[in-house]
Amino acid sequence: MIVVMKPEAMSREITSVIARIETDGYKAHLSEGEQHTIIGVVGESPTPLREENYSSMEGVEKVVRITAPYKLASRHFHPADSVVPLNGSQMGGSKILMIAGPCSVESREQIIEIACELKEAGATALRGGAFKPRTSPYSFQGHGEKGLQWLAEARERTGLPIVTEVMDTTQVEMVCNYADVLQIGARNMQNFSLLNKVGESQHTILLKRGMSSTVEDLLMSAEYVLSHGNNRVMLCERGIRTFEKATRNTFDVNAIPVLKALTHLPVIADPSHGTGYWEYVEAIGRAAVAAGADGLIVEVHQCPEQAYSDGRQSLKPERFRAMVQQIGRIAEAVGRTA
Amino acid sequence: MIVVMKPEAMSREITSVIARIETDGYKAHLSEGEQHTIIGVVGESPTPLREENYSSMEGVEKVVRITAPYKLASRHFHPADSVVPLNGSQMGGSKILMIAGPCSVESREQIIEIACELKEAGATALRGGAFKPRTSPYSFQGHGEKGLQWLAEARERTGLPIVTEVMDTTQVEMVCNYADVLQIGARNMQNFSLLNKVGESQHTILLKRGMSSTVEDLLMSAEYVLSHGNNRVMLCERGIRTFEKATRNTFDVNAIPVLKALTHLPVIADPSHGTGYWEYVEAIGRAAVAAGADGLIVEVHQCPEQAYSDGRQSLKPERFRAMVQQIGRIAEAVGRTA
Amino acid sequence: MIVVMKPEAMSREITSVIARIETDGYKAHLSEGEQHTIIGVVGESPTPLREENYSSMEGVEKVVRITAPYKLASRHFHPADSVVPLNGSQMGGSKILMIAGPCSVESREQIIEIACELKEAGATALRGGAFKPRTSPYSFQGHGEKGLQWLAEARERTGLPIVTEVMDTTQVEMVCNYADVLQIGARNMQNFSLLNKVGESQHTILLKRGMSSTVEDLLMSAEYVLSHGNNRVMLCERGIRTFEKATRNTFDVNAIPVLKALTHLPVIADPSHGTGYWEYVEAIGRAAVAAGADGLIVEVHQCPEQAYSDGRQSLKPERFRAMVQQIGRIAEAVGRTA
Amino acid sequence: MIVVMKPEAMSREITSVIARIETDGYKAHLSEGEQHTIIGVVGESPTPLREENYSSMEGVEKVVRITAPYKLASRHFHPADSVVPLNGSQMGGSKILMIAGPCSVESREQIIEIACELKEAGATALRGGAFKPRTSPYSFQGHGEKGLQWLAEARERTGLPIVTEVMDTTQVEMVCNYADVLQIGARNMQNFSLLNKVGESQHTILLKRGMSSTVEDLLMSAEYVLSHGNNRVMLCERGIRTFEKATRNTFDVNAIPVLKALTHLPVIADPSHGTGYWEYVEAIGRAAVAAGADGLIVEVHQCPEQAYSDGRQSLKPERFRAMVQQIGRIAEAVGRTA
């Protein structure tokens, strides 16, 4: 950490900063420039450094953090790629994995039928929401535990592992009973109570980036899960909120190579939410894999115009089948398989 | 709702849209332009209209919603201002109310001492966090129930009602036992499980806008609470996330008159989070009241450089006292009192 | 400037950075932390420091700038408020000045009539566009020199000085012949050729913030004008582009106290573009003055529904008259006059 | 266009809207819903419809535009892909074209040397700035005409056509004398005077998206050029400004398939500005081509740590060579060549 003093800082203000650094158990290293005195904080101490406390001291212009605020998630701490087992393959390995399914579990028949189609088309896992976070209290909120049971039945039929969202700490135990992967949705990325709870569960986690969260925020949320000794975490880029309205969200493809550089965790992409229109899903799925994503999560529905939610961004099964082929060719072009 | 067909839409596609409108129990009203056929959906029906289902039909270019998606929160539904009782006054009445206090409850002494100072300076209610949503799992997470007890003790001493955050459904009952107002933080604005739970509690709610939430999203979240018959909801503008980095957030002052036009609920402003720097808190507090805010929520700490959190944006008590004076003069200038 | 080396940086990489610092004429000041070596760049030299050159050296993690990149615009360089003479008053003095008028000059009669009404209502200067930057090539592009002549005629009648936009270097001379203040529009804030030209002109400049420009970008653009010895520059906050669509732009009220802290130049606000709806213009005008703005620029039209441009955000003259009263009361509340 | 009346609109307000529609030469088509009366504007007329005029009429809630505001740029108007000749190939054809070169032309030797290396590595055209738009007036502003002469010399040696920026209307003629393609930079995307001038020039144009411009804004700027009968326009996605700071800009990969759907013009991508870090340029270049881009423009410098500008995002020639190979494999995977 570096403390930059104001040009007009008085020497007693500088002395106070140094005293505080020493009280916190660190060493102060002074550097006097023409305009600014700069104080480096070096050494180690059990007391964590609170930037804000220094930045609110008198005479301080700003405080610059040097080290990343996350540790367990960082590639510096764990240089090799982590992989997460999924259906006999590994998310984060050389194979590009495809998670697919409808936005919502709508009925027993629907989810079993689509699971069979997806299995045949080459999907690695089945997604489907039983608990649905909906902007409106008047929209369909999911079938709850009944939906989870139907998902489990679809798994029995197809062997596809289940990825499904958990919205609240009180649901974690129940969802763990049915699901292979717990999804934390974008709106809950900073629901820290929930992150702690799913961390404790030791279940595999798919953590979606919040729509206004930075890459660093996402890694800090992963750190919550990892801090419970739960290392089976996949990160998911799903688009951020910007001024552009031609698409539902702006898919931040940059985040893929950035995350691969900063963290050892697998990175997947959701081109369905990332665009909001099925017409663009294939193109963005290809782009994500070309940029280095380890897998995709894609919304597929037999009849999008009858879907209870997200029909506009859902592929029909035959388009998904074609997409799997395309992704296979891109995977090869970047030295991977699909 | 209006369905705009593509210029190249075929007549069987138009027929399908009309059929669906009728199946949903509405009437279709056709309007043929030079390029586009436009289909108005009129009438009433118990089946809610799902825009997405229409927008994913073949031949449809886009669907335009006409009515607001919220009802109970809308001024159209409830034209007169709603007021929320607070400490003998009314949030949303002619008096500008000031909620103040530290970011975190740090100790019994701290919260009692600051409560006394704030009471004397003119505060209407005391804020302070016992459960703290922190980006990092390694940061201070709050004193939990002990913090709530200290808050209750501060209330006994001063008479100031308590505003404090609840982060999770499992905490709601406990927090209700101590707090006068439950705060839903920005990161939980779309934690729908929590919104339902606090709606059921019938406790007074302070709902903060999420940092990437639109005004409409905020009103939809309020609708969750209102849909449980809980009308004591205050909305709070606290800054949104933009590209500008000179301040912690961009305080969206426009949201104040916009909300006052769209909803009957009281609107308050948080200039502390809205700027992130104590130097700007007074100016933005004045601006919010000048724009029509019904109250402010402000972070105040005896010694910001020792604060466990948010020290950089906390006023010292003497600055808060001066701010109360300034707000009083602005309140008068807009025909209100403070 | 501070150069932060990567944890794995080799000593020859550190040596290279030091050598470059010395070649550039500065001194390197080393600080070795547990993880990172940090190199402070101190001293003065005629060679300007190029951050990017250091950040692209091997072994470098990042480069942190300490001093602001602008000089003439900074309050550190010029601590006292600068004022810009306008119609016998001073923008940046204790009086809040009101610039008002239609978006476009539409006809001789229109501009003369509105000028008389505005004069009587208390306006300090008349705005009106003769050259109009329009998103569409098919929209009205302004009356050009004829519009400038009508503006000059309106000035003769009323004594109100003229504020009008210049869009291109080739227009500068002509516009200087008629206008008292040259406006640089938001879309031209980083048209550096134009900034140089208007800087050379020594005319008074009203520089609008670009819709995706940071406060620092705005100050750098002001620096272009100031670097020609032209100190008569007013800055204008007019809203930035964000995800929020309830208003045309998001008026960044934070920018007002931030600018007042960073620069000595007068700061004005445009609540018309800042909101896009006449219903919100008064509220945001009041907020801007409460936050410390030195003046306002407001769109007023006799008959907004007949306006050639921006009718949706134009006040009628009687509303403007009421607004002047409101601003007067806010001005008094913050110790100024109007 | 559709005019949505307020629920409380009076019948004389509806009559006024209808009267105005008829005065403008169109027909009004009424549709009365439970809450809102909706008025469709149908037919054709020489008078262009001004949405704002209707939206500012009394009783009007909002106006919804149905048709795109651009015409010549739209795929509806010109369904087949347009191609732009470049160095014997065609931008927009099946081959992916690579434009490469340094940010700035720094010296005669530099530009000739890099041109030879790029030619050999497989570049299709040479980029390099002679006029540089720089945020700071104190930064290197480019060598001007001398730089253009050096570029022309590099073309003579290598046969590579020249792509270079023009910043101001007064430079257009001179730049046309040397360059094959005139680049309009992001900061000038809405410099309408310049767009008109380069439109008149009939030279090939590379139009970069502004950092806060929507896809629609970009197409409207293209429309300016096209409206002069100049059809040789390439569009370039180069990243937009968002809250994310891990990269210089957020590369909007969604814009690529969106533009390919909306317009017939070729679409290229700039992964150098799109990320700001050379480490991510290859990944984002691959992503852009996988998403459907017709070509790339990439910054390459022999010695990035000595570059006058943008060193941090410049590839070394050997990395560029490797990138060309990668792009070739992605091109094949999407059924194209490189």
For the cut 90, the answer to whether the pLDDT of residue A36 exceeds it is no
Top CATH class of B84-333 equals: alpha beta
pLDDT digits (tens, 9 = 90+) for B17-60: 999 999 999 999 888 877 788 898 888 888 888 888 899 899 99
Residues of chain B neighbouring D49 (CB-CB closer than 8 A): none
* Nearest CB partner across the interface for B67, out of D2, D35, D76: D35
Chains contacting chain A through 3 or more C-beta pairs under 8 A: B, C, D
Closest residue in C to A66 (Cα) is C4
Are the beta carbons of A243 and D240 separated by less than 8 Å?
yes
- Is B304 touching A (CB cutoff 8 A)? yes
- Residue D33 binned pLDDT confidence (cut-offs 50, 70, 90): confident
**What's residue B216's pLDDT?**
97
- Window 165-224 of C: residues touching B by CB (8 A cutoff) are 212, 214-216
DSSP-derived secondary structure for B29-55: EEEE-SS-EEEEEES--SSPP-HHHHH
**What's residue C194's pLDDT?**
97
Q: Where are the domains of chain C?
A: 2-64, 84-333
**Chain centroid to CA A134:** 19
- Residue C33 binned pLDDT confidence (cut-offs 50, 70, 90): confident
**What's residue C108's pLDDT?**
97
Q: Number of helices and strands (H, E) in chain B?
A: 11, 14
- Domain A2-64 CATH assignment equals 3.40.228.10: no
| Sheet-wide strand order for B37-42 | B27-32, B37-42, B2-5, B60-64
DSSP 3-state of B76 = coil
- The distance of D204 to chain C (nearest Cα, Å) reads 19
The closest alpha carbon to B56, from A134, D74, A319, A118, belongs to: A319
- The distance of B334 to chain A (nearest Cα, Å) reads 33
**What's residue B276's pLDDT?**
96
Closest residue in A to C33 (Cα) is A42
Question: Strand D204-208 relative to strand B233-237: parallel, antiparallel, unpaired?
Answer: unpaired
pLDDT digits (tens, 9 = 90+) for D7-25: 889 999 999 999 999 999 9
For the cut 80, the answer to whether the pLDDT of residue C34 exceeds it is no
- Is D79 touching B (CB cutoff 8 A)? no
Q: Measured between alpha carbons, how far is A199 from A36 in angstroms, rounded to an integer?
A: 44
- Is D19 touching A (CB cutoff 8 A)? no
Chain D interface, best mutation among B1, B60, B67, B241, by max D CB count within 10 A: B67
**What's residue A151's pLDDT?**
98
Entry field: residues in chain C: 338
DSSP-derived secondary structure for C12-80: HHHHHHHHHHHHTT-EEEEEE-SS-EEEEEES--SSPP-HHHHHTSTTEEEEE--S-S-STTBTTTS-S
Q: Which residues contact B12 (CB under 8 A, 6 or more apart)?
A: none
Chains contacting chain D through 3 or more C-beta pairs under 8 A: A, B, C
- The distance of A333 to chain B (nearest Cα, Å) reads 33
Host H or E run for residue A91: strand A89-91
Residue A337 burial (CB count, 10 A): 11
Are the beta carbons of D66 and B33 separated by less than 8 Å?
yes
pLDDT digits (tens, 9 = 90+) for A140-199: 899 999 999 999 999 999 999 999 999 999 999 999 999 999 999 999 999 999 999 999
Look up residue A338 and give its two tokens: 């699909």
- Window 132-171 of D: residues touching A by CB (8 A cutoff) are none
**What's residue C31's pLDDT?**
84
For the cut 90, the answer to whether the pLDDT of residue C49 exceeds it is no
Q: ipTM of the assembly?
A: 0.95
Chain D interface, best mutation among B6, B42, B76, B244, by max D CB count within 10 A: B42
- The distance of B34 to chain D (nearest Cα, Å) reads 6
Look up residue A128 and give its two tokens: 């489907």
Give the orientation angle of helix D278-291 with respect to helix A278-290, to 10 degrees.
140
Are the beta carbons of A330 and D333 separated by less than 8 Å?
yes
Q: Give me the phi and psi of B48, to 5 degrees please.
A: -70, 145
- Is B283 touching C (CB cutoff 8 A)? yes
Quick one: average pLDDT of C304-329? 94
Host H or E run for residue B149: helix B145-158
- pTM for the complete prediction? 0.95
Burial of C62 (0-12, 13-18, 19+ CB in 10 A): middle
Question: Strand A2-5 relative to strand A37-42: parallel, antiparallel, unpaired?
Answer: antiparallel
Mean pLDDT, chain C, whole residue set:
95
- Residue C46 binned pLDDT confidence (cut-offs 50, 70, 90): confident
Chain B interface, best mutation among C244, C275, C327, by max B CB count within 10 A: C244
* Nearest CB partner across the interface for D242, out of A242, A245, A333: A242
Quick one: average pLDDT of C220-246? 97
**What's residue B47's pLDDT?**
83
Q: Measured between alpha carbons, how far is A58 from A52 in angstroms, rounded to an integer?
A: 12
- The distance of A303 to chain D (nearest Cα, Å) reads 23
Give the orientation angle of helix C255-262 with respect to helix C278-291, to 10 degrees.
30
**What's residue A48's pLDDT?**
81
Contacts within 8 Å (CB) and 24+ apart, D28-32: D29/B31, D31/B29, D31/B31, D31/B40, D31/B42, D32/B42
Higher pLDDT, A299 or D2: A299
Residues of chain A neighbouring D291 (CB-CB closer than 8 A): 283-284, 286-287
Classify the C-alpha dihedral D221-D227-D228-D234 as positive or negative.
positive
Q: Measured between alpha carbons, how far is D252 from B15 in angstroms, rounded to an integer?
A: 37
Mean pLDDT, chain D, whole residue set:
95
Question: Strand A204-208 relative to strand A181-184: parallel, antiparallel, unpaired?
Answer: parallel
Question: Strand A125-127 relative to strand D37-42: parallel, antiparallel, unpaired?
Answer: unpaired
Cα separations (Å) of D225 from C19, C151, D203, D221, D231? 49, 30, 10, 7, 8
**What's residue A180's pLDDT?**
98
| Sheet-wide strand order for C27-32 | C27-32, C37-42, C2-5, C60-64
**What's residue C163's pLDDT?**
98
Closest residue in B to D35 (Cα) is B67
Q: Measured between alpha carbons, how far is B79 from B133 in angstroms, rounded to an integer?
A: 36
Chains contacting chain C through 3 or more C-beta pairs under 8 A: A, B, D
Which residues of chain B are under the pLDDT cut of 70? none
Buried b (16+ CB within 10 A) or exposed e, D6-41: beebeeebbebbbebbeebebebbebebebbbbbbb
**Chain centroid to CA D290:** 19
Q: Are A9 and A37 in contact (CB under 8 A)?
A: yes
Look up residue C81 and give its two tokens: 């408020």
The closest alpha carbon to A295, from A97, A121, A101, belongs to: A97
Are the beta carbons of B2 and D2 separated by less than 8 Å?
yes
- Residue A44 binned pLDDT confidence (cut-offs 50, 70, 90): confident
Are the beta carbons of C254 and B275 separated by less than 8 Å?
yes
Residues of chain C neighbouring D309 (CB-CB closer than 8 A): 52
| Sheet-wide strand order for A37-42 | A27-32, A37-42, A2-5, A60-64
Q: Measured between alpha carbons, how far is D162 from D115 in angstroms, rounded to an integer?
A: 10
Are the beta carbons of C66 and A33 separated by less than 8 Å?
yes
Residues of chain C neighbouring D54 (CB-CB closer than 8 A): 305
Look up residue D26 and give its two tokens: 């169109």
Under 8 Å CB pairs connecting chains A and C tally to 54
Cα separations (Å) of A229 from A198, A199, A204, C274? 11, 7, 12, 49
Q: Measured between alpha carbons, how far is D334 from D338 in angstroms, rounded to an integer?
A: 11
- The distance of A153 to chain D (nearest Cα, Å) reads 36
Q: Are C103 and C298 in contact (CB under 8 A)?
A: no
Contacts within 8 Å (CB) and 24+ apart, B39-44: B39/B2, B39/B3, B39/B4, B39/B5, B39/B14, B40/B1, B40/B2, B40/D31, B40/D33, B40/D38, B40/D40, B41/B1, B41/B2, B41/B3, B41/D33, B42/D31, B42/D32, B42/D33, B42/D34, B43/D33, B43/D34, B44/D34
Q: Give me the phi and psi of C308, to 5 degrees please.
A: -75, -20
**What's residue B121's pLDDT?**
97
Are the beta carbons of B284 and C257 separated by less than 8 Å?
yes
R_g of chain C computed on alpha carbons: 23
**What's residue B214's pLDDT?**
98
- Is C266 touching B (CB cutoff 8 A)? no
- The distance of D306 to chain C (nearest Cα, Å) reads 6
Are the beta carbons of A66 and C29 separated by less than 8 Å?
no
